[in-house]
Amino acid sequence: MSRKPKICVVGSINMDLVTTTDKMPDQGETVMGKTFATYPGGKGANQAVAASKLGAGVTMIGAVGDDAFGHTLLTHFENEGILIHGIKTCPNRSTGIATIILSDHDNRIIVSAGANEEVTPEWVEENKEAILNCDLVLLQFEIPMETIQYTTKLAHDNGIPTVINPAPFQEFPSEILNQSTYFTPNEIELLSMNQMAKIDHVREKMIVTKGSQGVQLMDEHCQIHQIPAFDVKVEDTTGAGDTFNGAFAQELAQGVSIKEAAYFANAAAALSVTMLGAQGGMPTRQEVESFLKEQEQQSKFT
């Protein structure tokens, strides 16, 4: 990697409370769990860590509570080499929480926003120098929509590209659609986006993640490309999409093509599902490059 790209992530910070069980409970049902653990999480934080592990210089803009989880997460960011001057500590709010149930290689998640609701346009304005000095801004939908709209406009007006992961999906103003550079919906999120009036005018912005079917995108020449998924042993799908987004943003900020960025990000996401935990499975750049070399060597003998 010739230079270290700078990415500003504006998004959520959570502590994930993860329970594994042999059976996903039905409504009203109680089942016995197998294990319980806590992991750093939140889509914004996950994507920041993914980009940092792959070589980007990352600044996080977000918020945590003045509680044990918040203090632990701030230390975790520092250990991951992520700049934290854009993270607000809120004395009257709890740190965001995600309650995750894992069963049979699938997951169900409930998110309690907590301090993430304090990531306001005013807080972004206070930290706008981080945005103005970065190569790319990465956002998700776990913070207030008005903040996403404000940040997108700030980046757009200053010629800074944005990648928006529209998850969890909610309706959003058409200005965000027009002013953003790329969106990274999964298939379900894309179905919701297809209901928007101006979606047909921005198809080239859609980088669609399709799980076991890989990634679909349209390049700068309006050609549709399907990037196949890699065949790996799945341990935990939590954080795969966030790994993809962090890797995709990192590669774009590095200056590679959309197709190359999506291919690299697809490999990073594949590696991430082979380990437990959203951030625990996120690979380094060396690990992704080694994995891709192995894939190329295997393809020569098949």
pLDDT of residue 302: 46
Question: 33, 19 in Cβ contact below 8 A?
Answer: yes
Mind listing the pLDDT tens digit for each residue in 85-118?
999 999 999 999 989 898 987 888 888 999 999 9
Give the contacts of 184 (CB within 8 A, at least 6 positions apart): 163, 164, 165, 166, 207, 208, 209, 241, 244, 245, 248
Q: How many domains does the structure of the chain reveal?
A: 1
pLDDT of residue 279: 85
Mind listing the pLDDT tens digit for each residue in 201-233?
888 999 999 988 899 998 767 788 899 989 888
Strand boundaries in 69-191, DSSP class E: 83-90, 96-103, 106-112, 136-140, 162-165, 182-183
120 lies in which domain range?
6-23+33-294
3 confidence band (pLDDT: 50, 70, 90)? confident
DSSP letters, 184-229, are --BHHHHHHHTTSTTGGGGGGGBEEE-GGG-EEEE-TTS-EEEEPP
- 18 found inside a domain: yes
Q: Please count the residues of the chain.
A: 302
How many angstroms separate the CA atoms of 184 and 171, rounded?
Answer: 15
- SS3 of residue 63 by DSSP: strand
Rounded to two decimals, the pTM is: 0.90
Q: Name the residue type at position 104.
A: D
- 143 found inside a domain: yes
pLDDT of residue 300: 55
- 301 found inside a domain: no
Mind listing the pLDDT tens digit for each residue in 273-296?
888 777 888 999 999 999 999 888
- SS3 of residue 7 by DSSP: strand
Mind listing the pLDDT tens digit for each residue in 130-162?
999 999 999 999 999 999 999 999 999 999 999
- 302 found inside a domain: no
Instruction: Please name which of 283, 209, 274, 205 lies closest in space to residue 241, comparing C-alpha atoms.
Output: 209
- 299 found inside a domain: no
Q: What is the pLDDT of the chain when averaged over all its residues?
A: 92
- 1 found inside a domain: no
- 170 found inside a domain: yes
- 28 found inside a domain: no
* CATH code: domain of residue 119: 3.40.1190.20
Active site residues: 242
Mind listing the pLDDT tens digit for each residue in 20-47?
999 999 899 999 999 998 989 999 999 9
pLDDT of residue 266: 95
